[in-house]
Amino acid sequence: MLLFRLFSKLPLKVLFVFSDLFYLLAYYIIGYRKKIVLSNIKHAFPEKSDAEIKTIARKFYRNFTDSMAETIKLLTMGRKELHRRFVTKNANLVTDNVDNGEIVIGMCGHFFNWEGHLLTASSKVGEKCETVYTKLSAPFFEKLMKSMRCRFGAILTERKSFQRTFLRNRNKPRLIVLAADQRPNLSDIRYWTPFMNRETAFFEGGEKLAKKFNTKVIYAHTSKPKRGHYVFEYQVLSQPPYLDHEPHSITDKFISLLEKNIRAEPSLYLWSHNRWKQKKP
């Protein structure tokens, strides 16, 4: 842990030198999950040529290794630098509601750098930010990521215990962050629908909570204007009353915004995740 913290003290431009080396290693030498990355991008963009697919893949690996360097830096990055590098637009859509005693659900996708986004959000609402996450199998990295994510008071809740925790704290105003594009486990109830040209399974926990407890749902459009800098622009995905909403309405809107975001900046999405491993029965 101490070694990572000492490494984190280095300027980000120095950490990016290591990122450049890891990029060459990951893309050209090891080929880390390269078949999965290229296959996922090709399925998502069948209209693009092989040269265009490879360009997106190379940019993805650049963003992937950059995010590793940035995440290490997040262990010690000051609040001022954090807000300069990770800009949130329309953050009042969250803070105003939380300050008014309400629960807001943030449905997010896996865009780089989501760790910086989470930390920035928690820096604005502190302990009123609850992130639902999947526990890492390696105890050391679990402890390391918890240390980074909770720097500004955020609460981490394991996915398996979230439903129970939510019911216990259903009257507590806060931002609840859900990575709504994760692949459900085989035992989970899932909703199958087209996503990036393939039938895909989605959780609907966010939709069920929003409709049952009449909460506003927020989406953050992610962009990367330059290296080491991100913009997260918040918009209302859905809000009560939900009396006239069709089934899956919130999830479908999330998927629509997610696809729009991916098509705008495809290299920012996590293509190395084997998202389409499961096939629709």
Write the pLDDT tens digit of every residue in 4-40. Answer: 999 999 999 999 999 999 999 999 999 999 999 999 9
Average pLDDT, integer, range 74-87: 97
Average pLDDT, integer, range 151-166: 92
Q: How high is the pLDDT of residue 188?
A: 79
Tell the residue number behind the tokens 């030198």, with chain if given. 17
Average pLDDT, integer, range 163-192: 90
What is the phi/psi pair of residue 158, to 5°?
-65, 140
Tokens of 256: 């629509």
pTM (global) more than 0.85: yes
DSSP letters along 87-155, please? Answer: EEESTHHHHHHHHTT-EEEEEE--BS-HHHHHHHHHHHHGGGEEEEEPPPSSHHHHHHHHHHHTTTS-E
Q: Which residues contact 272 (CB under 8 A, 6 or more apart)?
A: 32, 33, 36, 37, 60, 64
Half-sphere exposure of 177 (CA within 13 A, CB side): 27
Distances (CA, A) of 76 to 11, 80, 126, 138, 218: 11, 12, 17, 22, 28
Half-sphere exposure of 187 (CA within 13 A, CB side): 1
Residue 244 has pLDDT above 90, yes or no: no
Tokens of 29: 């030498």
Tokens of 174: 């806060």
| Confidence grade of residue 279 (pLDDT, cut at 50, 70, 90) | confident
CA dihedral 136, 270, 265, 198 (to 10 degrees): -130
Give the 3-state secondary structure of residue 179. Answer: strand
Buried b (16+ CB within 10 A) or exposed e, 79-91: eeebeebbbbeeb
> Which H/E stretch holds residue 226?
strand 216-226
Average pLDDT, integer, range 110-126: 96
Q: Find, among 122, 71, 89, the residue nearest to 225 by Cα.
A: 89
